[in-house]
């Protein structure tokens, strides 16, 4: 085994990533050394790099939390296994973990935030919550492509379950990019009638092609016009005019404002996308509509096998929404992602050798 590892480190905000060579680290009891197959580029990484969101670990730091790879050292039961690393790694013992809220564990560790992450050749992580990838899935997808399960797929899966969505509900997904396209698929799998809203016609075309019931380009529409259009589409789909499940996936101020204004009677608004911008809303609408807003943070490791099973059963598609790049192109990919040049989720694949 080569005794070196390579990392693309963030040395300073808004600066290019720097390639660093290091000896392979020694692992402690309960840890696993993973040879990385792929690491997805998330909006959170862009926020760390460009928008001033602080990492919990000090710089220099290797970002990246959507990781797939092969265990090459660690507990015997994990050796040589193909795995996905959950983006949130809880302690499993605290009050939140015991209450089934392990994704919000206050002792949680997040690759690329608390410690060096996946834009590298190798990563060391706690082995406890690794998610094994069955051979059946690997016959359908490359391990690199499956890295997006770590966050882009699992996060919307958790929030759709958390929304208490029911068969026949109307699900409104705002933003069908790298996360939202999976959220829309998952809501459809749960039996909802799904409307995708976006400002990008290409993304909406992709969503429609992959079975989403209806799409609406909202680029030139004001909030009132969007709500009226959604009501019309709901009627055409035979979906209810109440109890809407609204999923804000865009991570923009405009998206969050629209999401709040789409609330109607007994609605549930789920906030998935992240922005540093502040939104001014009238909270009394929650009282008037008997509605609720929920947040979500990552995904509980316990739910990952359910997500993998959806992929194994061909219910949830991955490859059509993923584009791989050599990891040496990281600076170019981050710049292009910031400029919204991609319609698919970018996955960086190590090319150090």
Helix 253-261, helix 223-237: angle, nearest 10: 60
**Judgement on whether residues 46 and 167 belong to the same structural domain of the protein:** no
**Judgement on whether residues 268 and 341 belong to the same structural domain of the protein:** no
**Judgement on whether residues 234 and 332 belong to the same structural domain of the protein:** no
Mean pLDDT value across residues 87-108:
96
Q: What is the pLDDT of residues 137-147, one digit of tens each?
A: 999 999 999 99
Q: What is the pLDDT of residues 134-189, one digit of tens each?
A: 999 999 999 999 999 999 999 999 999 999 999 999 999 999 998 999 999 999 99
**Judgement on whether residues 124 and 224 belong to the same structural domain of the protein:** no
**Judgement on whether residues 9 and 134 belong to the same structural domain of the protein:** yes
Question: Is residue 2's pLDDT more than 80?
Answer: no
pLDDT band of 106, cuts 50, 70, 90: very high
Question: Is residue 53's pLDDT more than 80?
Answer: yes
Q: What is the pLDDT of residues 301-314, one digit of tens each?
A: 999 999 999 999 99
Question: Is residue 207's pLDDT more than 70?
Answer: yes
Q: What is the pLDDT of residues 311-342, one digit of tens each?
A: 999 999 998 899 999 999 999 999 999 998 99
**Judgement on whether residues 254 and 316 belong to the same structural domain of the protein:** no
Question: Is residue 218's pLDDT more than 80?
Answer: yes
Percent of the chain with pLDDT over 70: 99
Mean pLDDT value across residues 112-136:
97
**Judgement on whether residues 220 and 314 belong to the same structural domain of the protein:** no
The pLDDT value recorded for residue 353 is 57
Residues 169 and 240 sit within 8 Å (Cβ to Cβ) = yes
**Judgement on whether residues 196 and 129 belong to the same structural domain of the protein:** no
Compute the mean pLDDT over every residue in the chain, rounded to the nearest whole number. 96
**Judgement on whether residues 143 and 178 belong to the same structural domain of the protein:** no
pLDDT band of 3, cuts 50, 70, 90: confident
Mean pLDDT value across residues 41-63:
95
For residue 198, the domain's CATH number is 3.40.50.720
**Judgement on whether residues 228 and 340 belong to the same structural domain of the protein:** no
pLDDT band of 343, cuts 50, 70, 90: confident
For residue 21, the domain's CATH number is 3.90.180.10
Residue 260 lies in domain: 154-295
Question: Is residue 1's pLDDT more than 70?
Answer: no
Domain count, the chain: 2
Cut 0.85: pTM above it = yes
Among 319, 345, 317, smallest CA distance to 189 is for: 317
Q: What is the 3-state secondary structure (H, E, C) of the chain?
A: CCCEEEEEEECCCCCCCEEEEEECCCCCCCEEEEEEEEEECCHHHHHHHHCCCCCCCCCCECCCCEEEEEEEECCHHHCCCEEEECCCECCCCCHHHHCCCHHHCCCCECECCCECCCCECEEEEECCCCEECCHHHHCCCCCCHHHHHHCCCHHHHHHHHHCCCCCCCEEEEECCCCCHHHHHHHHHHCCCEEEEEECCHHHHHHHHHCCCCEEEECCCCCHHHHHHHHHHHHHHHCCCCCCCEEEECCCCHHHHHHHHHCCCCCCEEEECCCCCCCCCCCCHHHHHHCCEEEECCCCCHHHHHHHHHHHHCCCCCCHHHEEEEEHHHHHHHHHHHHCCCCCCEEEEECCCC
Please tell me whether the peptide bond between 324 and the residue prior to it is cis, using omega within 30 degrees of 0.
Answer: no
Q: What token pair was written down for 291?
A: 């509605």
**Judgement on whether residues 16 and 116 belong to the same structural domain of the protein:** yes
**Judgement on whether residues 196 and 139 belong to the same structural domain of the protein:** no
């Amino acid at each position: 085994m080569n005794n070196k590892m390579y990392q693309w480190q963030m040395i300073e905000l808004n600066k290019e990533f720097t390639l660093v060579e290091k000896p392979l680290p020694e692992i402690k009891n309960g840890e696993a050394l993973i040879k990385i197959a792929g690491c997805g580029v998330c909006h959170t990484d862009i926020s760390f790099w460009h928008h001033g969101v602080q990492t919990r670990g000090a710089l220099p730091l290797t970002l990246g939390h959507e990781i797939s790879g092969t265990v090459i050292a660690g507990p015997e039961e994990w050796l040589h296994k193909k795995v996905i690393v959950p983006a949130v790694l809880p302690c499993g013992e605290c009050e939140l973990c015991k209450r089934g809220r392990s994704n919000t564990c206050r002792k949680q560790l997040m690759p690329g935030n608390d410690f060096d992450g996946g834009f590298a050749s190798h990563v060391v992580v706690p082995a406890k919550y690794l998610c094994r990838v069955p051979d059946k899935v690997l016959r359908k997808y490359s391990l690199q492509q499956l890295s997006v399960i770590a966050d882009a797929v699992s996060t919307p899966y958790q929030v759709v379950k958390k929304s208490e969505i029911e068969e026949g509900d109307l699900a409104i997904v705002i933003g069908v990019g790298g996360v939202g396209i999976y959220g829309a698929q998952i809501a459809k799998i749960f039996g909802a009638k799904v409307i995708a809203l976006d400002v990008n016609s290409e993304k909406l075309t992709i969503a429609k092609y992959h079975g989403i019931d209806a799409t609406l380009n909202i680029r030139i529409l004001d909030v009132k016009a969007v709500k009226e259009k959604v009501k019309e589409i709901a009627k055409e789909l035979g979906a209810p005019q109440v109890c809407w499940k609204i999923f804000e996936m865009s991570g923009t101020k405009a998206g969050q404002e629209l999401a709040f204004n789409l609330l109607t009677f007994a609605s549930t608004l789920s906030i998935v996308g992240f922005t540093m911008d502040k939104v001014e809303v009238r909270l009394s609408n929650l009282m008037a509509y008997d509605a609720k807003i929920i947040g979500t943070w990552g995904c509980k490791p316990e739910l990952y096998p359910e997500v993998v099973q959806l992929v194994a059963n061909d219910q949830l598609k991955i490859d059509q929404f993923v584009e791989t790049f050599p990891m040496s192109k990281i600076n170019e990919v981050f710049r292009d992602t910031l400029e919204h040049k991609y319609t698919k989720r970018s996955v960086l694949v190590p090319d150090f050798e």
